[in-house]
Amino acid sequence: MIPALDISTSALVAQRLRLDTVSSNLANMTSLERDERGNMQPYQARYVVFQTDEATETKQGAVGVKVASVQNEQVEPLYRWQPAHPYAIKEGPKKGYVAYPRINMTAEMVDALVATRAYEANIGAMELSKNMAQQSLRILG
């Protein structure tokens, strides 16, 4: 029973993190960030990569989940014509344009919904494990 609770908890933590990245993407829909060379780049949408977590593996092979990494998407930015903007592109074919992130709001909201439902499903699984543990106390009367 206890390993089942641990596995469900790992799922809760992972889904919570997924919702955090969705919130981050929605909050930064039009923001820029500084990359490692010091230039201002459009914010790239983050997404989480889930992986099985060997630390919670039981003898029978049931495993929990962990967030392996948070990756950045690489998509073409959205260009807006703003020649007076301080971060407008100075030269090249896109001179005078500012690069904004291209974040698909619908996809992010659906992702948030999936994360919420997965969270609820895991809470349901935990309730079942808890019930089973309490029922097994009836063996002793």
Partner 1 sequence: MTPISRLPLTPPLPPTAAAQPAADAAGGQPFKNILLEALNQVNTMQSQANEAVQQLVTGGDVNPAEVLTTLQKADISFRMMLQIRNKLVQAYQEVNNIRI
* Interacting residues toward partner 1 by CB under 8 A: 1-3, 5-6, 8-9, 12-13, 16, 126, 130, 133-134, 136-137, 139-141
User: Which of these, 112, 122, 126, lies nearest to 18 by C-alpha position?
Assistant: 112
Between 2 and 84, CB nearer to partner 1: 2
Least separation in angstroms between CB 26 and partner 1: 21
In the block, tokens 């690069």 appear at 99
Least separation in angstroms between CB 76 and partner 1: 36
Between 84 and 140, CB nearer to partner 1: 140
Q: What is the dihedral of CA 89, 92, 97, 99, to 10 degrees?
A: -70
The two three-digit tokens of residue 53, written as one number? 């977590």
Find the radius of gyration of the CA atoms of the chain.
Answer: 22
Least separation in angstroms between CB 115 and partner 1: 13
